[in-house]
Amino acid sequence: ALWRIARTEGVWRPMRGLNITATGAGPAHALYFACYEKLKKTLSDVIHAGGNSHVANGAAGCVATLLHDAAMNPAEVVKQRMQMYNSPYQRVMDCVRAVWRNEGAGAFYRSYTTQLTMNIPFQAIHFMTYEFLQEQLNPHRQYNPGSHVVSGACAGAVAAAATTPLDVCKTLLNTQESLALSSNISGHITGMANAFRTVYQVGGVTAYFRGVQARVIFQMPSTAIAWSVYEFFKYILTKRQEERRAGK
């Protein structure tokens, strides 16, 4: 699919819409990791005082996802519509205006509950896998770039593979792809249950796992980079705080 898009519409087609994603990613991820760290420590103290709790890690990741997705869902809708095959949109604002005019403001959050339905289990698996691998590869929890890269990549791969069916349905809700619409009696796909039925009507069980390789390949470097950058700045800021305390 990627080769077909690049060959017929140019190599930059898959990159369209990334500017709006990048604009929202900074503040969204700041909320995401700040919320995760705070809740992880609070819940770990309640569930397993003085130790690490995988339940706390998963729960903290789920709550952090609520804030992150509230900020990122509109950008995700625009990005996917600009990147889909034969997209009629040339610029971000063209897409925003068209969606607003034709479908209303609610279209930007039509897939929000579905996004959460996918991302909450994704992040629960993601955080729990990362923290588990850190316990194995980096038991003293020191700053170790190699272990952060490996743990982040593996955590992203496991979570991505496990939640691919949900991602397929979320993408269908966002794009309202024409082939799927033609097989839908109502002519419009709304909600998770409707999306699941439509995917099955179009391609059967295997359709739920289309794109799993691309999703895993995308998530591995993405989560590896995210965790590496996060752990780096966490190390730098923690070190500075310790130096300030020592200087007093």
In a domain, 205, yes or no: yes
- Per-chain mean pLDDT for the chain: 83
| Residues whose CB is less than 8 angstroms from the CB of residue 137 and which lie 6 or more positions away in sequence, other chains included | 144, 147, 150, 151
Q: Are 88 and 19 in a shared domain?
A: yes
Q: How far is CA 23 from CA 19, 86, 206, 216, in A?
A: 6, 25, 35, 24
> How does pLDDT run across 182-191, given as a tens digit for each residue?
555 455 677 7
In a domain, 131, yes or no: no
Rounded CA-CA distance 69/28 in Å is: 8
**Residue 128's pLDDT is what?**
93
**Residue 167's pLDDT is what?**
84
Which residues form the domain of 25? Answer: 1-109
- Whole-model pTM over 0.75: no
Mean pLDDT of the region 221-244 = 92
Rounded CA-CA distance 127/143 in Å is: 17
In a domain, 120, yes or no: no
- What is the 8-class DSSP label of residue 107? G
Identify which of 146, 142, 147, 152 has the alpha carbon closest to the alpha carbon of residue 235: 142
Residue with the larger pLDDT of the pair 60 and 99: 60
The CATH number of the domain where 87 resides is what?
Answer: 1.50.40.10
**Residue 185's pLDDT is what?**
45
Which of 127-131, 183-187, 221-225 bottoms out in mean pLDDT, i.e. has the lowest? 183-187
**Residue 64's pLDDT is what?**
92
